[in-house]
Amino acid sequence: MFPFSFEWEWDIVHMVFHGALWYAISIVGLGLTYCIIKSVVDTARQKENTHH
């Protein structure tokens, strides 16, 4: 549920509960994104070094 859903209420329960969920999802998502981007960069560098 997002804050723009019609059921959303700006109270402590919603903020803590969904905040923790989105915090966990964000860490996992950012971690995965970092790995993918770094792998693309590493692969490109490796190719560049091979060409040189």
Site string for other proteins, 2-41 (x = CB under 8 A): ---x-x-----xx--xx-xx--xx-xx--xx-xxx-xxx-
Would you state the torsion angle of the CA atoms of residues 26, 28, 35, 33, taken in this order, to the nearest 10 degrees? Answer: -30
What whole-number distance in Å separates Cα of residue 48 and Cα of residue 52? 6
CB of 52 to other proteins, least distance (A): 16
- Residue ranges in contact with other proteins by CB under 8 A: 1, 5, 7, 13-14, 17-18, 20-21, 24-25, 27-28, 31-32, 34-36, 38-40, 42-43, 46-47
